Amino acid sequence: MTGGLLFLVASGLLGIFSGGGSVATQSHMAEVEIQGPILSAEPTLSLIEDARERPEVKGVLLRVNSPGGGVGASESLYKAVARLSEEKPVAVSLGDMAASGGYMVALGGDRIFALDSTLTGSIGVIMMSTGVYPLLDKIGVVPRIIKSGRFKDAGSPLREMSEEDRDYLQSMVDELHGQFVAMVAEERGMEPGEVRPLADGRVFSGSQARSSGLVDAVGGRETALQWLREEAQLGPEAPIRTLEAPEGWLRQVLPAGLFNWLQLRFAPEPRYLYQGG
């Protein structure tokens, strides 16, 4: 009796790890979601890499609903999606908004789908700095700054921004903007001169983006999924599984909107971020 039970258990485990029709190793598509401001490449980066490494994942549906965020995080995710698309088909489905860094990430996929009402584009860079020095002066607080070079505190809220500071920071923003334009041109098969008139920070509706060549087709999740099934050569019976990572403890304590607002406001730096509204 005991021997028979052990045999059944062993047979079951062997079936799972050998992929003999098991749910764990069945060919399927993976779905990865980028939701809200892009504050960090992780944990989404790990999910994308996991989908790339798993042989049972035959294609990936990337859903983007984001105004963008940090320049490094956005570029890291774009490169991860581009690596993935070299090995497996990647369909990108844009939600209400996929702007700036959100649009950058989408560029790494094989085909971009937008709703008619999707707000996308916003190809540009923004850097914000809030000066609190007038308030400090009123209450008698005198900041003391010790620095290794004249630009070390450029953009600091503790002092007035000089013209030299402004020129330096503007040159940084311009450099990042040029990189973004070149990226769009390469991925969308356009000339940089075609992209620049579209890269003044404005957002486009999905239909406008389609007419401008910034996205491939107008359609929602199901349209993107249908294309993906055809590219991955999987029938309608093949499942699609959402890849998710556990949230950090601070996100569990604070409402997501407040957490995102704090991150964006208290870490001033250049960003691929749409600031409308």
Decide if 209 contacts 120 (C-beta within 8 A).
Answer: yes
Active-site residue, from 152, 162, 171, 211: 152
Q: How many CB atoms lie within 10 A of CB 218?
A: 18
Token pair 């609903």: residue: 65
Helix axes 44-53, 71-85, angle to 10 degrees: 10
Length of the chain: 277
Residue whose C-alpha is closest to residue 232's, from 113, 53, 85, 93: 85
C-alpha to C-alpha distance for 257 and 152, rounded to whole angstroms:
31
Active site residue 147: no
C-alpha to C-alpha distance for 249 and 263, rounded to whole angstroms:
15
Active-site residue, from 66, 74, 100, 122: 100
Which residues are part of the catalytic machinery?
100, 152
